[in-house]
């Protein structure tokens, strides 16, 4: 077995891909057909990305097709805004469903006919019990259920009642249609599950045509069968539903019989991936919207600057398994950092500025120096950066009384300014409160470009911007939205929110080249700081950058080892 696993992994395979490959090799199917079936009741999150990459990825790799199907069976929670957002996000991730866009609501008529088919076959009945009565008589994991008093209604009476349910004669919840399977089954899903509910609510696509709507269980598998899905891939919580889906396939005149395979859903530390909780975060104003860069939604990650390719890479790394587990969210950051390290252009920005005056640099003068855009990619070229008498450096690149291992600026020490000169600190100027507000330095004109002709070395290179030329900016730093590795997904989630999830730095200075970035540009690296992307809140005179990810896991250090 161990050997099999190894060869499977080496081929970029997983157990589902192995099944697909086997089915195609055995000619059980001419072509593979998968689908991604979101319910349009919220935005897609990083867990959905796993499912999208799996379903669309398999179709791509095996030359088949993948459908995008909206599972729109619950009109009270579904909105067009979500449909549009889901389409946008799947495309952004890099996948294309072509002509294969479907809606479960397209099948309402057929599903209704199939419900009548079950009634005529004596395999479905209208139940008048209240919801409470039904819950009690369903039994528990250890106790069998009890038959409903309405279970043995005659076929004609069932047909008549079901048609009147459809015609809108009854109040919401007055009756349901149930499958007649087995109230004593060890699998609760087989204890006469509900097929149709009365819901007098308009549907975004079918309007007021329907007064009854199919349950998720009755719609889902049959939609797959109608579309000729060969491999119906879903998460583990549906494993127990598979016998029910197979019962429908066996008892209805369906055009095809898809096979269901279950994989482990993605769970991430410090993250909640439940649409219900994400909806609540938005509704209760804990975040600024579905695309708040702290959200694990694809819209949020995109706004934070995460490239779609990094998400796909992450999904590939975590693989597809049959056992549930929790993935360390640092793994996701790793994928993002690794990609951006290769692709992002380098720029200089000072997040917490401290003024430096170069006393021996002529007043009113400035010069252009050459800076490389990417140290490992000469093809990305160089740009000019302005140097002058007054500069900004990071506050924490200076210490008045440095400990032994601090090699950056302090009174009397010499450091290299990136792409520029060696400078030596002569004096720290303080305000009335004793805070350092300005450094008086001198530079060595012979060290232009950052090397001394006499071969003397410095131990540190720091970044800087020219005070006269830099542009003001705001930087938004995002930390995990939750402060616990396993946040409460249920009612108490608000207590686990991280009060420090957003840090705003409002006095940032960036090199002028950053003012010409377009809104859709890929993130850039601010040297020594991390990767940053322009936020849509930016204005020409006030740039706003989101930190996509730090260079290292800096939050983990600050929090004492916890991310
Ligand atoms: P939630 O449980 O948050 O309400 P959901 O699973 O009901 O989400 P759907 O719109 O039904 O959301 O999901 C569409 C598809 O995405 C389903 O096939 C589902 O199995 C898959 N999916 C949802 N969450 C995850 C996850 N965390 N990891 C992998 N796949 C997921
Ligand atoms: Mg679902």
For residue 353, give the H/E element and its range: strand 353-358
Q: Is 275 in the pocket of ligand 1 (CB under 6 A)?
A: yes
Q: What share of the chain is helix, strand, coil (3-state, %, to 5)?
A: 35, 25, 45
State the distance from the centre of ligand 1 to the C-alpha of 38, rounded, in angstroms: 7
For the chain, give every domain's residue range. Answer: 31-263, 275-343+473-550, 346-469
Phi, psi (5° rounding) for residue 315? -60, -40
Nearest by Cα to 544 from 308, 339, 303, 337: 303
Phi, psi (5° rounding) for residue 367? -150, 160
Q: Is 193 in the pocket of ligand 1 (CB under 6 A)?
A: no
3 state SS of 430 = strand
Q: Which residue has the tokens 């199939």?
A: 114
From residue 140, how far is each of 137, 144, 182 by CA, in Å? 9, 7, 14
Strands (E) across 143-188 are located at: 176-179
Cβ–Cβ contacts within 10 Å for residue 294, how many? Answer: 24
The DSSP call for residue 557 is H
Q: How many helices (H) and strands (E) does the chain have?
A: 14, 25
Query: Given this model, what pLDDT does residue 561 score?
Result: 42
Catalytic machinery residues: 39, 265, 275
Q: Is 274 in the pocket of ligand 1 (CB under 6 A)?
A: yes
State the distance from the centre of ligand 1 to the C-alpha of 195, rounded, in angstroms: 21
Separation between Cα atoms, residue 85 and residue 102, nearest integer Å: 16
Substitution candidate for ligand 1 out of 265, 311, 320, 327 with most atoms within 8 A of CB: 265
Q: Are 542 and 474 spatial neighbours (Cβ–Cβ below 8 Å)?
A: yes
Beta partners for residue 476, in sequence order: 504, 546
Q: Which two tokens stand for residue 357?
A: 């005056």
* H-assigned helices in 438-490: none
Q: Is 77 in the pocket of ligand 1 (CB under 6 A)?
A: no
Q: Are 331 and 314 spatial neighbours (Cβ–Cβ below 8 Å)?
A: yes
Q: Which residue has the tokens 């093809």?
A: 379
Separation between Cα atoms, residue 35 and residue 46, nearest integer Å: 17
Q: Are 11 and 319 spatial neighbours (Cβ–Cβ below 8 Å)?
A: no
Separation between Cα atoms, residue 438 and residue 429, nearest integer Å: 5
Separation between Cα atoms, residue 217 and residue 226, nearest integer Å: 15
Q: Are 221 and 194 spatial neighbours (Cβ–Cβ below 8 Å)?
A: no
Q: Which residue has the tokens 């990083």?
A: 46
Q: Are 156 and 127 spatial neighbours (Cβ–Cβ below 8 Å)?
A: no
So what CATH class is 31-263?
A: alpha beta
| Domains 31-263 and 346-469 are alike in CATH topology | no
Q: Whole-structure pTM over 0.95, yes or no?
A: no
State the distance from the centre of ligand 2 to the C-alpha of 488, rounded, in angstroms: 19
Residue 84's Cα: distance from chain center in Å?
A: 16
- Given a cut of 50, the residues of the chain with pLDDT beneath it are 1-10, 555-556, 558-563
Q: Is 166 in the pocket of ligand 1 (CB under 6 A)?
A: no
Separation between Cα atoms, residue 33 and residue 63, nearest integer Å: 9
Q: Is 111 in the pocket of ligand 1 (CB under 6 A)?
A: no
CATH of domain 346-469: 2.40.240.10
Task: Provide the CATH topology of domain 275-343+473-550.
Answer: 1.10.1160
Q: Which residue has the tokens 């970044």?
A: 463
- Between helix 308-318 and helix 80-93 the angle, nearest 10°, is 80
**Which atom of ligand 1 lies closest to the CA of 265?**
28
State the distance from the centre of ligand 2 to the C-alpha of 370, rounded, in angstroms: 54
Nearest CA to ligand 1 atom 3: 274
Q: Are 144 and 187 spatial neighbours (Cβ–Cβ below 8 Å)?
A: no
State the distance from the centre of ligand 2 to the C-alpha of 122, rounded, in angstroms: 30
Buried b (16+ CB within 10 A) or exposed e, 509-518: bbbbbbeebe
């Amino acid at each position: 077995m161990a050997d099999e696993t190894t060869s499977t992994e080496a081929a970029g395979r997983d157990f589902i891909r192995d099944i697909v490959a086997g089915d195609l090799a055995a000619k059980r199917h001419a072509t593979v057909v998968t689908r991604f079936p979101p319910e349009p009741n919220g935005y897609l999150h990083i867990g959905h990305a796993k499912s999208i990459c799996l379903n669309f990825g398999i179709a791509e790799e095996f030359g088949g097709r993948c459908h995008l199907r909206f599972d729109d069976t619950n009109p009270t929670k579904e909105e067009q805004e979500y449909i549009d957002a889901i389409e946008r996000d799947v495309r952004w991730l890099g996948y294309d469903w072509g002509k294969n866009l479907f809606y479960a609501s397209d099948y309402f008529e057929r599903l209704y006919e199939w419900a009548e088919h079950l009634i005529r076959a004596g395999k479905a009945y209208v139940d008048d019990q209240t919801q409470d009565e039904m819950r009690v008589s369903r039994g528990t994991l250890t106790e069998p259920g009890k038959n409903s008093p309405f279970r043995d209604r005659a076929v004609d009476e069932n047909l008549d009642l079901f048609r009147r349910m459809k015609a809108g004669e009854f109040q919401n919840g007055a009756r349901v249609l149930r499958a007649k399977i087995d109230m004593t089954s060890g699998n609760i899903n087989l204890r006469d599950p509900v097929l149709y509910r009365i819901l007098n609510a308009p549907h975004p696509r079918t309007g007021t045509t329907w007064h009854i709507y199919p349950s998720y269980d009755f719609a889902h598998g049959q939609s797959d069968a109608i579309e000729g899905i060969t491999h119906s891939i879903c998460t583990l919580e549906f494993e127990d539903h598979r016998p029910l889906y197979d019962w429908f396939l066996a008892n209805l005149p369906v055009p095809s019989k898809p096979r269901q395979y279950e994989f482990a859903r993605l769970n991430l530390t410090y993250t909640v991936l439940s649409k219900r909780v994400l909806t609540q975060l938005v509704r209760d104003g804990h975040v600024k919207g579905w695309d708040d860069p702290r959200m694990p939604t694809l819209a949020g990650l995109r706004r934070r600057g995460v490239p779609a390719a990094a998400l796909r890479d992450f999904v590939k790394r975590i693989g597809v398994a049959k056992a549930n587990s929790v993935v360390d969210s640092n793994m996701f950051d790793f994928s993002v950092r690794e990609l951006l390290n290769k692709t992002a252009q380098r720029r200089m920005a000072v997040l917490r500025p401290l003024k430096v005056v170069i006393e021996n640099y002529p007043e009113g003068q400035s010069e252009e120096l050459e800076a490389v855009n990417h140290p490992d990619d000469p093809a990305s070229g160089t740009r000019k950066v302005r140097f002058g008498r007054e500069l900004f450096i990071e506050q924490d690149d200076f210490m008045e009384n440095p400990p032994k291992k601090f090699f950056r600026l302090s009174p009397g020490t010499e450091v290299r300014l990136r792409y520029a000169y060696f400078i030596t600190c002569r004096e720290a100027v303080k305000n009335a409160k004793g805070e350092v507000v300005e450094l008086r330095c001198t530079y060595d004109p012979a060290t232009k470009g950052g090397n001394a002709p006499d071969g003397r070395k410095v131990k540190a290179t720091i970044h800087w911007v020219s005070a006269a030329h830099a542009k003001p900016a705001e930087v938004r730093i995002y930390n995990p939205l939750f402060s616990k590795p396993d946040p409460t997904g249920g009612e108490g989630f608000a207590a686990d929110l991280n009060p420090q999830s957003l840090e705003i730095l409002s006095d940032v200075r960036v090199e002028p080249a950053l003012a010409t970035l377009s809104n859709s540009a890929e993130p850039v690296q601010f040297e020594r700081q991390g990767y940053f992307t322009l936020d849509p809140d930016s204005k020409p005179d006030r740039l706003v950058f989101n930190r996509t990810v730090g260079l290292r896991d800096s939050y983990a250090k600050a929090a004492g080892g916890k991310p």
